[in-house]
């Protein structure tokens, strides 16, 4: 598994260097959307702090979705997907490695950028910490679920629009508990319950999403 992940990381890094927009566009989108809200709402620290969990989480969700429509596109075009399909390597394991590599290249920069943007919303240090933990648990879930949709719309026209229509309803629980964890801390309550649910989502997604994505990819290649 480690060798697979390292090999996929090297390949994804090479592809990212050829098409840096695939990595930079979600980050720029996240940065611009989060920065526009304080400019539009004003300098009311209490209002900004109250809005922050929802704004940051929705922006991160949409930025993640923006980067997923081409997740398997290059692999289909250069024949790598077919080679994996007919090799001895389980397709679901390759999918898991692909998703982990994608999360590392796109999710980690979003995660590191989130607390900096949270300062614009006057979030206290305790809320920033919970925000990072919730994103660390939630962003991989978003990518794993998005991979299923990306496999289902592979090769179709308007794949990005179709992907959004398919996946956004499944993103709602992650959004609710992710933003709710920060809101709970702001209200003086503990965030353990929300974070536990996100961790459960992550474990379920790690087990089921690669299998569902592999099945969808087989259908797309038939």
Contact 143, 103 (CB under 8 A): yes
Q: How many residues does the structure list for the chain?
A: 222
Please tell me the predicted confidence (pLDDT) of residue 212: 92
Contact 102, 73 (CB under 8 A): no
Helix (H) or strand (E) holding 72: none
Give the list of residues 6+ apart from residue 5 with CB closer than 8 angstroms, or none: 97, 100, 101
Helix (H) or strand (E) holding 145: helix 125-152
Q: What distances in angstroms separate CA 58 from CA 29, 53, 62, 135, one per listed residue?
A: 12, 8, 6, 11
Written as tens digits, the pLDDT of the chain (222 aa) is: 667 667 767 777 777 677 777 778 888 999 998 888 888 877 778 888 888 899 999 999 999 888 887 788 777 777 777 787 777 778 888 888 888 888 888 888 899 999 888 888 888 888 899 999 999 999 999 999 999 988 888 877 777 788 888 899 999 999 999 999 999 998 888 889 999 999 999 999 999 999 999 898 888 777
Spatial distance between the Cα atoms of 158 and 136, rounded to a whole number of angstroms: 30
The angle that helices 108-120 and 125-152 make with each other, rounded to 10 degrees, is 140
Spatial distance between the Cα atoms of 120 and 39, rounded to a whole number of angstroms: 10
Contact 25, 69 (CB under 8 A): no
Contact 144, 206 (CB under 8 A): yes
Domain carrying residue 19: 2-221
Neighbours of 85 (CB within 10 A): 14
What domain count does the chain have? 1
């Amino acid at each position: 598994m480690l060798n697979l992940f390292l090999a996929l990381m090297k390949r994804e890094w090479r592809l990212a260097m050829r098409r840096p927009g695939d990595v930079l566009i979600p980050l720029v989108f996240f940065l611009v959307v989060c920065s526009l809200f304080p400019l539009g709402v004003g300098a009311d620290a209490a209002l900004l702090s109250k809005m922050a969990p929802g704004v940051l989480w929705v922006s991160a969700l949409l930025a993640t979705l923006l980067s997923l429509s081409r997740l398997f596109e290059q692999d289909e075009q250069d024949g790598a997907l077919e080679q994996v399909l007919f090799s001895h390597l389980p397709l679901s394991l390759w999918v898991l490695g692909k998703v982990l590599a994608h999360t590392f290249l796109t999710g980690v920069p979003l995660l590191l950028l989130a607390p900096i943007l949270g300062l614009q919303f006057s979030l206290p240090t305790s809320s920033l910490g919970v925000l990072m933990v919730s994103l660390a648990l939630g962003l991989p879930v978003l990518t794993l679920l998005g991979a299923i949709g990306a496999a289902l719309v592979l090769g179709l026209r308007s794949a990005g629009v179709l992907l959004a229509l398919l996946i956004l309803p499944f993103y709602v629980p992650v959004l609710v508990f992710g933003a709710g964890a920060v809101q709970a801390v702001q209200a003086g309550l503990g965030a353990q319950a929300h974070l536990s649910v996100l961790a459960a989502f992550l474990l379920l997604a790690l087990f089921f999403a690669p299998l569902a994505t592999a099945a969808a990819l087989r259908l797309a290649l038939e």
